[in-house]
Amino acid sequence: MRKLKTGLGFLVLISAGVPAALAQNFRVGDHVEALPFASDWYPCVVTRGAPNYMVKCTNIDSTTSDYGVSSNRIRPDSGQAAAAMAARWAQRFPIGSRVEAAPYGEQNGYHACTVLNVKGNGATVGIYHLKCDMGYENGPAEVDVGAMDHIRAASPLNDGNPAPKPAPASAGQAPSGRTTLAQSGSGAGGVPQGTYQCWSSGRANLTLNFSVNGANQYAGYNGSAGTFSFDATSERIAFKGGSLDGVMPQGFYSIYHVPQGRPTVSFRNSSGSEVAFCQKK
């Protein structure tokens, strides 16, 4: 009897030292909440038991995803994760709504946009797919913006009402909506000298950064030297040598223009949509 009591006491001590998450043993089919990554808890169903759990989790947009989670990242279903998702989803910008977004950071300004699609996971609406008026001559561009990034409801000035048309320009005067190369102070082959910082997918892309150093001369982000040609009529700019030679897939092209007075090199795919851009500091 003394040995039995001693054994039971030893088991109690071991149990007391095990975290609650490890002590809980969930079975296949149990409704739980899981933390696959970051800090977003998901409502899930267990599809494989301990020790290496597999769970099928419901995303904020009602789609499902399968995840593997450790036993310290799973807990009983409290309803909190589902409630957080429902509250956040109710606050989303619906498809077709007008918003303002800064796809390339607030330092590059907000633009009038329309929501084309929205996806999400966890308790956070993940990505808005937008069509934004970026000031490009060939029309709006489609971009992705994270829901926790720079996106907000449209102001009354950008609520979709047409803007008043500018007065006709007098002879010899450049249209007010476009900055000419002469007005931009361009020098080197029609492209201003200086450092150009680049963005793609809403984030800084350091490997595209470059500097224009002289007439048709540039240096890539890694210091590699190259040349470029620029046709002011078509706005096409092409790089030869250096880090930007062949940096884009076949069929892509780049243009140099000056939207809103900022010297910009825009990299575009075969359908004309912008995939990256670089602006002079």
The answer to pTM > 0.75 is no
Q: Is the pLDDT of residue 268 over 50?
A: yes
**20-83: in CATH 2.30.30:** yes
Phi and psi, residue 262, nearest 5°: -110, 115
What does the domain layout of the chain look like in residue ranges? 20-83, 92-158, 194-280
CATH class of the domain whose range is 92-158: mainly beta
- pLDDT at res. 241: 93
- pLDDT at res. 148: 73
Q: What is the pLDDT of residues 68-116, one digit of tens each?
A: 999 999 999 999 999 988 888 888 888 999 999 988 777 778 889 999 9
Give the up-direction half-sphere exposure of residue 235: CA atoms within 13 A in the CB hemisphere: 18
Q: Among the CATH numbers 2.40.128, 3.40.50, 3.40.1350, 2.40.50, which is that of 194-280? A: 2.40.128
DSSP 270: T
Asked, colleague to colleague, whether 20-83 and 194-280 share their fold, the answer is no
CB-count burial class (<10 Å; 0-12, 13-18, 19+) for 192 = middle
At residue 88, the 3 state secondary structure works out as helix
Q: Which of 74, 85, 82, 77 has its CA nearest to residue 123?
A: 85
Q: List Cα–Cα distances, 76 to 20, 21, 81, 105, in angstroms.
A: 11, 9, 11, 39
